[in-house]
Amino acid sequence: MSALAAEQGALNLSQGFPDFDAPPQLLAAVAKHLSSGRNQYAPMTGVVELREAIASKLSALYGLAVDADLELTVTSGATEALFCAIATVVQAGDEVIVFDPAYDSYQPAVNLQGGTTVHIPLAAPDYKVDWTRVADAITSKTRMIILNTPHNPTGSVWDAQDMAALTTLVRDTGIYLLGDEVYEHMVFDSQPHQSLCLYPELFARSFVVSSFGKTYHATGWKIGYCAAPSLLSAEFRKIHQYVTFTSITPVQLGLAEYMTAHPEHHLALPDFYQAKRDLFARLLESSRFSLLPSAGTYFQLLGYSAISTEPDIQLANRLTREHKIAAIPISVFYADKQDSNILRFCFAKDDATLTAAAEILCQL
């Protein structure tokens, strides 16, 4: 959709990236390290300064004491971390539970290991997990459960009751957990982010993945990390070593410097993106779209049943070509291509972009 948007000169609210830049102090820190001779290989696990900054953040936010040397690995984006975590534990014949609509990298990574994904659909408008259905899906072959909260593409978030249900289900099993927490700093309406890092019993069997690109408005840098207990991290690194080995050194150093000097950045992100969510919602009040709840991430789902009966893929393409605005059809995130006449729009955009987008959408 981003390629089509560029081809058509359309406003791109499809792919999840901001149209504004990273903080100036962060850009200055990276530029400083680029010109200070720190351009050779970083350690395979990531520069120590960045791993220590991550450890400090996890302690401050979640009360989790991690060993920066043994339990944190910097990766070339969160998607690499997700792949490595899956490859670490999933073997031929294993089953991995995912929740649809699901981020599209999960299933290919599982399939490459010879595993099978078991898809549990989430239903509009709230996309809550049916824990009875999860319990019924667990078998002797279940090797991993992948959870994504805040959830892409729906914007739903898990609560403490969800974490309690998960704890009960996996207790006394050999099931591993993979937490895709790349939107951890984008939870709205004063709700806490329910990280696996908050729950020692869950973290003991977990790989927790996050993204600097999402947090610092620099998705093109492709820097993420995985936090996991030392034994899991040791196995994770055996995969990571031969996937990317290491990531760009001066960017890691710049991130470490900025994280340490400006923790207020990630602490302010919930209010920053909630303001954009609320602005986009106000701008769409006169439209014929129905707004589904967005409790986290920087995505807003819009139902279009009052506007068209077209399949979502068809409508997304037509909006891009004819009305010059690009969105993502939700059916592509379901294994069964379930189509509920819903499109995903990214509101990680300048206010002027959101205003221009809403003007188009209100005319439909």
Residues 45 and 176 in one domain: yes
| 49: CB partners within 8 A, 6+ apart | 252, 253, 256, 257, 260
Q: Which amino acid is at 100?
A: D
What backbone torsions phi and psi does residue 10 show, to the nearest 5 degrees? -95, 155
Residue 17 corresponds to which tokens in the numbers above? Answer: 């990236």
Residues 244 and 129 in one domain: yes
Residues 271 and 244 in one domain: no
Task: Give strand pairing partners of 290.
Answer: 303
Task: Give strand pairing partners of 116.
Answer: 95
- Rounded distance, CA 355 to CA 159, Å? 32
Residues 17 and 29 in one domain: no
Report the CATH number at residue 320: 3.90.1150.10
Residues 330 and 194 in one domain: no
Residues 256 and 107 in one domain: yes
Strands annotated E in 5-104: 11-12, 72-75, 95-100
- Rounded distance, CA 68 to CA 118, Å? 34
Residues 49 and 15 in one domain: no
pLDDT digits (tens, 9 = 90+) for 274-324: 999 999 999 999 999 999 999 999 999 999 999 999 999 999 999 999 999
Tokens 């068809």, located at residue: 314
SS3 329: strand
3-state secondary structure 127-188: CCCCHHHHHHHCCCCEEEEEEECCCCCCCCCCCHHHHHHHHHHHCCCCCEEEEECCCCCCEC
Q: Which residues of 191-228 are buried (b: 16+ CB within 10 A; e: fewer)?
A: eebbbbbbbeebbebbbbbbbbbbbbbbbebbbbbbbb
Residues 16 and 31 in one domain: no
Residues 54 and 198 in one domain: yes
pLDDT digits (tens, 9 = 90+) for 93-111: 999 999 999 999 999 999 9
Domain-ending residue, one of 261, 282, 315:
261
Query: Does residue 153 have a cis peptide bond before it, meaning omega lies within 30 degrees of 0?
Result: yes
Report the CATH number at residue 254: 3.40.640.10
- Rounded distance, CA 63 to CA 11, Å? 41
SS3 6: helix
pLDDT tens string, the chain, 364 residues long: the values are 999 999 999 999 998 999 999 999 999 999 999 999 999 999 999 999 999 999 999 999 999 999 999 999 999 999 999 999 999 999 999 999 999 999 999 999 999 999 999 999 999 999 999 999 999 999 999 999 999 999 999 999 999 999 999 999 999 999 999 999 999 999 999 999 999 999 999 999 999 999 999 999 999 999 999 999 999 999 999 999 999 999 999 999 999 999 999 999 999 999 999 999 999 999 999 999 999 999 999 999 999 999 999 999 999 999 999 999 999 999 999 999 999 999 999 999 999 999 999 999 999 9
| 74: CB partners within 8 A, 6+ apart | 42, 45, 46, 47, 50, 51, 54, 223, 224, 225, 246, 247, 252
Residues 8 and 54 in one domain: no
Residue range(s) defining the domain that contains residue 155: 24-261
Q: Which amino acid is at 290?
A: S
Residues 150 and 256 in one domain: yes
Whole-prediction pTM:
0.97
Domain-ending residue, one of 233, 261, 289:
261
Q: Which pLDDT score is estimated for 279?
A: 98
CA 276 from chain centre, in angstroms, equals 18
- Rounded distance, CA 318 to CA 7, Å? 13
Domain-ending residue, one of 239, 261, 283:
261
Q: Are 341 and 28 a contacting pair, CB within 8 Å?
A: no
Nearest CA among 191, 163, 190 for reference residue 177: 163
Residues 82 and 208 in one domain: yes
Q: Are 271 and 47 a contacting pair, CB within 8 Å?
A: no
- Rounded distance, CA 276 to CA 165, Å? 32
In sequence order, what DSSP letters do the residues of 271-299 get, joined into one string?
Answer: HHHHHHHHHHHHHTTTSSPEEPP--BTTE
Q: Which pLDDT score is estimated for 302?
A: 98
The number of domains in the chain is: 2
